[in-house]
A and B are shown apart, each in its own frame.
Chain A
């Protein structure tokens, strides 16, 4: 009994030690690394300061109003949930199609999911008038209006997705560090669940809006499919760019395979996204009437007010150019064109799934009033702060992954951390039935 009792404890302890070392690794790097992290940390603090100001002095310091009661925070939340879901476009080829090269870099997608979900939750918190009452929404502690409120579903799927991806990142890095193959039973079920779960997070986020009968701009069945399509644009686009950054600035070696696969995915999802946009535009403008007033305001302005018009046409231009660029380029020959395409697609979807989605839901208001919303400096400070936090987390993830993948020897040598003896024992023992 003693023996069986000790094993999981010991492996858990080893795992925790490993995680502690991972954190330590993030405090090690070159000058450029520290400069980058320092900039991110500073921007994060500026954002935090803005958030403190907003919370203490009231949300009235933002540009939001009773007419446009959600703004750039919820816009970013929507976009980031998509980015988190989009990471699954690496997981599917890596695990379902056994793309070996993709498998090697799949962690980039999982870390993207972690960082994006943390940012999403950040944007939820900064949008609350009473963040001090956050515990009211924690199941068991507060009162959780489940299953009626889609926001409770969102809390469940977002935190679940965060946990799944943290587990996958941690476990895959750990086994890599140990130099043992990961045990399928410990991670494959989670991978499969994470694929379905990725779809669910963005579906639920779409349902959050699509379920509101009083807001015709959102009240459309195509909203969830559009969310998914755009998520599968932003996820791969973001990873195409990050993989190249990692390849260029670290010792990590990677071929063009994953970039080719992701580009092929982008070619389809970009078109799909445009197709769904077209379906939406047709329904809105051919039918006309009150249902299309939000779209009318978004694309052409209303009553002489057109704050969003330049934004949305920029988004459409970006998405069209990105689609064109990525279709006429190959990774081997015109990688830079693909990169430009990815940046444009990321920006285009950010507008379209952000401000272009949230604000027209409120303009005109449910009683037909046109009150505009343009985010102010405080909101931008908070927003950049959260993005800096997300990039900080993503960079830390990349830092750890590169260190671990770079080899056990150097990782262990640098951190005077060599537990291979223990580890060998642990690996054998864990075969017997530990689930961790």
Chain B
């Protein structure tokens, strides 16, 4: 096995072919990274951004909404209000399973139209059982059906959220008002939080979201309903771009039966506090110790 010239030539040829094939394979990746703005690549975590950096980030996202979706949007970074912790309650006795809440979420939060994504899944449950395994989220018939009741499930905004603990890069955290948010520009898309969540509340952007320009909701929050990038996690934020400014969540406004009650848990005069004080409320999977801020109750 001496290195004859022929052998050397063959090797050089082989190595060049290999290198060329390799270069060709990664070419699209190289092209993609060349398109990417260096500022975008180097962008720091949301909580490390000063006001200038934040303004840059926001204007970049507003620009790309125009550029990629043809929509003029306003993105704001609405901060939590001191003295406010949000809670949500849902009256199972009057929910009729119409899924208006899920649809309102779909539109308000600029969800992908192709997958018809929503942060809310409504389960049709059998009377006499509170077991999700006997429930069905794929029902397709007039509601309410006899001997059924309906259980919408969204992010429970846990006080002890497993999704936050497991995130390797702190891309998701609990805000002072109890809302668990995701920095879409920091998430690496490992989906560990999706595995950790006991409520199936988290969603992954398996594709770049598709939304026609005229359907884009232009009133956007940086940490909530702005159009998400491909390959990152997202979740219900109790519509923080609305609720932090005194409005109600879109799902609540859409509910035709008034089954939903939302408010400040720290305000003794709030509706939510009245529900907690006067109804026999329960939380989902209390045994897991996640301490949800989303409560369910029956009227009777």
Co-assembled chains A and B: yes
Q: Is A213 interfacial (CB 8 A cutoff)?
A: yes
Given A149-B167, A214-B288, are A52 and B28 neighbors across the interface (CB < 8 Å)? yes
Q: Is A155 interfacial (CB 8 A cutoff)?
A: yes
A369 contacts which chain B residues (CB < 8 A)?
132, 137, 200
Query: Do the beta carbons of B191 and A213 come within 8 Å of each other?
Result: no
User: Of residues 20 to 66 in A, which have CB atoms within 8 Å of B's CB atoms?
Assistant: 27-30, 34, 38, 41-42, 45, 48-49, 52, 55-60, 64-66
Chain B proximity of A287: nearest CB distance (Å): 16
Query: Do the beta carbons of A45 and B21 come within 8 Å of each other?
Result: yes
User: Of residues 82 to 132 in B, which have CB atoms within 8 Å of A's CB atoms?
Assistant: 121, 123, 131-132
Instruction: Give the interface segment out of A105-113, A136-144, A325-333, A427-435.
Output: A136-144
Residue in B29, B167, B188, B203 whose beta carbon sits within 8 Å of that of A56 in the complex: B29
User: Of residues 162 to 208 in A, which have CB atoms within 8 Å of B's CB atoms?
Assistant: 208
Query: Do the beta carbons of B170 and A151 come within 8 Å of each other?
Result: no
A213 contacts which chain B residues (CB < 8 A)?
162, 198, 288-290
Query: Do the beta carbons of A58 and B208 come within 8 Å of each other?
Result: yes
A70 contacts which chain B residues (CB < 8 A)?
191, 195
Query: Do the beta carbons of B25 and A58 come within 8 Å of each other?
Result: no
Chain B proximity of A231: nearest CB distance (Å): 22
Query: Do the beta carbons of B168 and A69 come within 8 Å of each other?
Result: no
Query: Do the beta carbons of A129 and B205 come within 8 Å of each other?
Result: yes
Chain A proximity of B290: nearest CB distance (Å): 8
A144 contacts which chain B residues (CB < 8 A)?
168-169
Query: Do the beta carbons of B171 and A136 come within 8 Å of each other?
Result: yes
Q: How many residues of A contact B (CB 8 A)?
A: 62
Q: How far, in whole Å, are A24 and B14 apart by their CA atoms in the complex? A: 15
Given A48-B25, A52-B25, A368-B133, are A69 and B191 neighbors across the interface (CB < 8 Å)? yes
Query: Do the beta carbons of A149 and B168 come within 8 Å of each other?
Result: yes
Q: How far, in whole Å, are A38 and B18 apart by their CA atoms in the complex? A: 9
Q: Is A366 interfacial (CB 8 A cutoff)?
A: yes
Mark each residue of chain B from 177 to 203: 1 if its CB lies under 8 Å from any CB of chain A, else 0: 000000000111111101111111011
B189 contacts which chain A residues (CB < 8 A)?
59, 128-130, 133
Q: Which residue of A lies closest to B233 (CB)?
A: A129
Chain B proximity of A176: nearest CB distance (Å): 21
Q: How far, in whole Å, are A29 and B290 apart by their CA atoms in the complex? A: 59
Given A45-B25, A145-B169, A149-B165, are A58 and B33 neighbors across the interface (CB < 8 Å)? no
Q: How far, in whole Å, are A214 and B284 apart by their CA atoms in the complex? A: 11
Q: Is A17 interfacial (CB 8 A cutoff)?
A: no
Q: How far, in whole Å, are A367 and B201 apart by their CA atoms in the complex? A: 10
Query: Do the beta carbons of B33 and A132 come within 8 Å of each other?
Result: yes
Residue in B132, B137, B168, B203 whose beta carbon sits within 8 Å of that of A152 in the complex: B168
A-binding residues in B (CB < 8 A):
1, 3, 11, 14-15, 18, 21-22, 25-26, 28-29, 32-33, 36, 41, 45, 121, 123, 131-135, 137, 153, 162, 165-171, 186-192, 194-200, 202-208, 229-232, 285, 288-290
